[in-house]
Amino acid sequence: MQATDRLTLAAVLSLFLAGFLLAPLTSDLSYLGPAWFSLSTLGVTTALLRRARLGSGVVLTTQLLIAAVLSVGLSLTMPGTGLPWHQHYVGLWQGGVAHMQASGSPMDPNDGVTLIFATIVAGLLIVTDLLASGLGRPAWALAPTATLFLVPALTVGAGTGVMSFLLVALGYLGILVADGLNGSSRWTRGLSRDSAESVGASPVVWRAAALIGVPALVGTLVLSPFAPTLTLPGLGFGNGSGRGGPLQLTDPSLDLRRNLQQPRDQEVITYSTDAPGGLYLRLASLPQFDAKGWSNVEIRLTSGAQLPAAPGLTDVPDKEFTTRVSVRDFRSQYLPLPYAPRSFEAEGDWRYDPTSLTVVNGESRARALSNLTYTVRSINPAPDSDALDGAVAGTPLDDSVTGVIPRDLPENLIRLSERVTKDAATPADKAAAIQAYLRGGRFQYSTEPLPGSGYRALQNFLLEDRRGYCEQFATAMAMMARVAGIPSRVSVGFLPGKKDGDVWRVSIHDMHAWPELYFSNYGWVRFEPTPASVTGSAPPWTLQGSDDPEDSPTAAPTAAPSASAPADTAAPEEAPVEDLTTGEAGTTFPWARTLLGSGVVLLVLLVLAAPATIRVRRRTARLSGDQLGEEQVEAAWAEIRDTVVDHGGTWPTGSPHAIGSQIADRLDGQESAAMGQVATLVERSRYARSLGGGTDTLPTLTRDIRRGLVAPLSRRQRLLATVLPRSLFRRPGR
């Protein structure tokens, strides 16, 4: 393998790894396939171009043309609108940018985003190759992958844990190793150069790479479960207008998952109300259920601030409650409102869905909610428990979505649902039985990430681990209700929070999901399957047929707690935190944090030590005496040259005799004479028919010369030359 091939391959592998750095931004990893295909195509093309010894300008121009063709080709594989190819291509880019501006991370799948990400990764390969091979500065090749590393770090909610750092470190280490392999290859005879082409490679650099890379990889894999993510509030997607097309609605369940797993809680909403207790603040309702989970459907938004009556509610209460809400640093396209809202006053372009009464920003701006204060008037559609007990399941307007049982729903989930509700006589009793089953002692609340996705995750929650957070509890009840013949949907929003005087304070960890079931004459009714340790007691109208003591109306405060029991609403934060620790707070040593910190420090030190390690191993290989004759002479000559370069010197040009004379002038006595002897051996090696012996003392002569070159330098210069040897980063051939 030629020297240029190694650097090109290392650059390609580095970007293969770096492609994963964009994963926290999107829920769709389909961009990786096109990105890897582009990287492979560009890598092969670049290797062939550099083997042909074409100039860097020709290589760069060809790379850009191929990248452009690949990007356009990818766009042609995506569904179009009948437009010419160039308009379709531009439209995908515009749509992708608008989607990123309108979405929180991780984003929903979008063809434009896939095109943008794949093109960016391919473009960064061109930059990396230009730095490593074109400009001969492999050390600078860290910049492109570091750029991808920083993008999620500057995006709300995207993680940049130890694994992300490992991807960057391993990619950069690969480039340094490739450069080290090139430098430690065998040297051949040459008439006009001091650095000959590589025709082989010493295994010592591979051993050095293993010495550095394997501990780093193992350490990171061990420590990554303890790694927190880094979130930088105040920056990220969600600041665009999104005008000129249909609104791209984000998935609130993704925001729920991310916010509940944030290590630091923070206040995001305060509100005051004349309602008798705290209020659930709903962001959105997800009506569609399939193998991927709960999701939005296409809706038609209506302008205005006066909302219609709650769907399905026949006996509308006369009493309206007024609530004034102030949002701090929280971003969403949805306006948090108590159910059922009748009207609202909020600055900006807000529109509502008459079916779900969800209010959405008309400009698709996630930032529109930040630092917004607004007023909402709502009713409390809470039914009487005795009356609801006799209610039948209704047929909502969107029954074709909310009443559907997926055909591929696993049979064991259906059997479990039927078993839980088999003794219940009425639909309300069935719903209460499902709620009591989930709130009982069989299930544990935990925000730890769970294995699997879709139906597999639901099976794992209901039949195996029985651990999860509010999304799993809400999903399970809504699914089981549909099996029982009751239309259902999952709503996402906030728990009431904690009361502080006349104000209710809601934190980011109060984000919550709950099911809503549809009953004739009552419309959508909220249930609460998440355990009491998180939510307090269940709504009183949901307790028909429940014999679970924790669901007794007197066992705990209601879901809208009174001022006399504010402590009960703190449970959502306390339960998951205790699950993540061992022993009582303040009495155990923080092993996870200590191991994580130590692992990160170790990984950084290993990466920083890579150049020095490779340089030492290269010197050892050159002076080991394993080479024969001419190869040993060229290896010693290369070592002297790299020593001069490492310590800030300039390697002269000219014949070996001329170079030897100039270097000897910098040395004293024995070292100067040694330089003359080595120069003579180089001349014989290159120009004479035979070397004539004299190579036995080459390692000793080379060490003497190195000692003489280093002697007059300061301690700081020596340290810098050891930690960052310039010879590793010099342009090949110089």
What is the per-residue pLDDT for 339?
A: 94
Which string of DSSP letters, residue by residue, matches 394-413?
---TTHHHHTPPPTT--HHH
Mean pLDDT over all residues of the chain? 76
Is 248 or 222 the better-scoring residue by pLDDT? 248
The neighbouring-strand residues paired with 345 are 375
- Count of beta carbons in the 10 Å neighbourhood of residue 11: 32
Contacts of 408 (CB under 8 A, 6+ apart): 291, 455
Residue written as token pair 């091979």: 133
Is 469 or 570 the better-scoring residue by pLDDT? 469
Task: Give whichever of 404-418, 449-463, 649-663 has the largest mean pLDDT.
Answer: 404-418
The answer to whether 342 and 379 have CB atoms below 8 angstroms apart is: yes
- Break the chain into its structural domains and give their ranges: 385-485+528-576, 625-734
Mean pLDDT of 123-140: 80
Q: Is the pLDDT of residue 40 over 70?
A: yes
Q: How confident is the model at residue 352 (pLDDT cuts 50, 70, 90)?
A: very high
Mean pLDDT of 327-332: 87
Residue 503 CB-density burial (10 A; 0-12 exposed, 13-18 middle, 19+ buried):
middle
Q: Is the pLDDT of residue 203 over 50?
A: no
Q: Model confidence over 418-441: pLDDT tens digits?
A: 999 999 989 999 999 999 999 988
Is 391 or 55 the better-scoring residue by pLDDT? 391
Q: Is the pLDDT of residue 632 over 70?
A: yes
The neighbouring-strand residues paired with 344 are 376
Phi, psi of 66 (to 5 degrees): -65, -40
Q: How confident is the model at residue 80 (pLDDT cuts 50, 70, 90)?
A: low
The 3-class SS string of 162-216 reads: HHHHHHHHHHHHHHHHHHHHHHCCCCCCCCCCCCCCCCCCCCHHHHHHHHHHHHH
Helix (H) or strand (E) segment spanning residue 322 = strand 321-327
Cα distance between residue 569 and residue 441, in whole Å: 20
Which string of DSSP letters, residue by residue, matches 678-713?
HHHHHHHHHHSS---S--TTHHHHHHHHHHHHHTTS
pTM score: 0.47
- Is the backbone of residue 620 left (phi > 0), alpha (psi -120 to 50) or beta? alpha
Q: How confident is the model at residue 702 (pLDDT cuts 50, 70, 90)?
A: confident
The tokens describing 313, both together, are 């509610």
Q: Is the pLDDT of residue 549 over 50?
A: no
The 3-class SS string of 238-288 reads: CCCCCCCCCCCCCCHHHHHHHHHCCCCCCEEEEEEECCCCCCCEEEEEECE
Q: Is the pLDDT of residue 523 over 90?
A: yes
Q: How confident is the model at residue 451 (pLDDT cuts 50, 70, 90)?
A: low
Mean pLDDT of 108-119: 83
Number of alpha carbons in the 13 Å side-chain half-sphere of residue 211 = 16
Q: Is the pLDDT of residue 195 over 80?
A: no
Task: Find the angle CA(275)-CA(281)-CA(282) to the nearest 5 degrees.
Answer: 135
Cα distance between residue 307 and residue 326, in whole Å: 21
**CB environment 59-90: b (16+ within 10 A), e (fewer):** bbebbeebbeebbeebbeeeebeeeeeeebbe
Cα distance between residue 192 and residue 643, in whole Å: 21
The answer to whether 128 and 144 have CB atoms below 8 angstroms apart is: yes
What is the per-residue pLDDT for 581?
A: 30
The tokens describing 256, both together, are 């729920």
Amino acid at 495: L
The tokens describing 251, both together, are 């998935």
What is the per-residue pLDDT for 686?
A: 84
Query: How far is residue 259 from each of residues 80, 268, 365, 440, measured CA to CA in Å?
Result: 36, 11, 19, 26
Q: Looking at the chain, how many residues does it have?
A: 734
Helices marked H in 103-136 — which ranges?
111-129
313: three-class secondary structure by DSSP: strand
What is the per-residue pLDDT for 502?
A: 93
What is the per-residue pLDDT for 490?
A: 95
What is the per-residue pLDDT for 463?
A: 92
What is the per-residue pLDDT for 248?
A: 57
What is the per-residue pLDDT for 496?
A: 95
Q: Is the pLDDT of residue 342 over 90?
A: yes
Q: Is the pLDDT of residue 184 over 60?
A: no
What is the per-residue pLDDT for 648?
A: 84
Is 270 or 153 the better-scoring residue by pLDDT? 270
Q: Model confidence over 603-613: pLDDT tens digits?
A: 566 667 777 87
The answer to whether 647 and 658 have CB atoms below 8 angstroms apart is: no
What is the per-residue pLDDT for 485?
A: 94
Contacts of 590 (CB under 8 A, 6+ apart): none
Amino acid at 406: P
What is the per-residue pLDDT for 222?
A: 41
The answer to whether 35 and 118 have CB atoms below 8 angstroms apart is: yes
Q: Is the pLDDT of residue 280 over 90?
A: yes
What is the per-residue pLDDT for 595?
A: 57
Is 220 or 476 the better-scoring residue by pLDDT? 476
The 3-class SS string of 460-529 reads: HHHHHCCEECHHHHHHHHHHHHHHCCCCEEEEEEECCCEEECCEEEEEHHHEEEEEEEEECCEEEEECCC
Mean pLDDT of 171-190: 62
Cα distance between residue 497 and residue 506, in whole Å: 4
Mean pLDDT of 248-257: 72
**Range name among 204-213, 383-392, 565-574, 721-730 with the lowest pLDDT average:** 565-574
Q: Is the pLDDT of residue 592 over 50?
A: no
What is the per-residue pLDDT for 12?
A: 85
Cα distance between residue 264 and residue 88, in whole Å: 43
Cα distance between residue 256 and residue 495, in whole Å: 12
Residue 111 CB-density burial (10 A; 0-12 exposed, 13-18 middle, 19+ buried):
buried
Q: The domain 385-485+528-576: what is its CATH number?
A: 3.10.620
What is the per-residue pLDDT for 189?
A: 37
The tokens describing 258, both together, are 């991310």
What is the per-residue pLDDT for 215?
A: 46
Cα distance between residue 473 and residue 494, in whole Å: 15
What is the per-residue pLDDT for 320?
A: 93
Which string of DSSP letters, residue by residue, matches 573-592?
HHHHHHHTSSSSTTSS--HH
What is the per-residue pLDDT for 34?
A: 86
Q: Is the pLDDT of residue 325 over 90?
A: yes
Mean pLDDT of 383-394: 84
Cα distance between residue 653 and residue 638, in whole Å: 14
Question: Could you tell me the end-to-end alpha-carbon distance of the chain, in angstroms, rounded to an integer?
Answer: 21
Q: Is the pLDDT of residue 3 over 90?
A: no
Q: How confident is the model at residue 10 (pLDDT cuts 50, 70, 90)?
A: confident
Q: Using only C-alpha atoms, what is the Rg of the chain?
A: 34
Q: Is the pLDDT of residue 214 over 50?
A: no
What is the per-residue pLDDT for 572?
A: 32
Q: Is the pLDDT of residue 672 over 60?
A: yes
Query: How far is residue 57 from each of residues 4, 45, 64, 456, 650, measured CA to CA in Å?
Result: 16, 14, 11, 53, 27
The neighbouring-strand residues paired with 378 are 321, 341
Mean pLDDT of 645-665: 87
What is the per-residue pLDDT for 373?
A: 95
- Count of beta carbons in the 10 Å neighbourhood of residue 211: 14
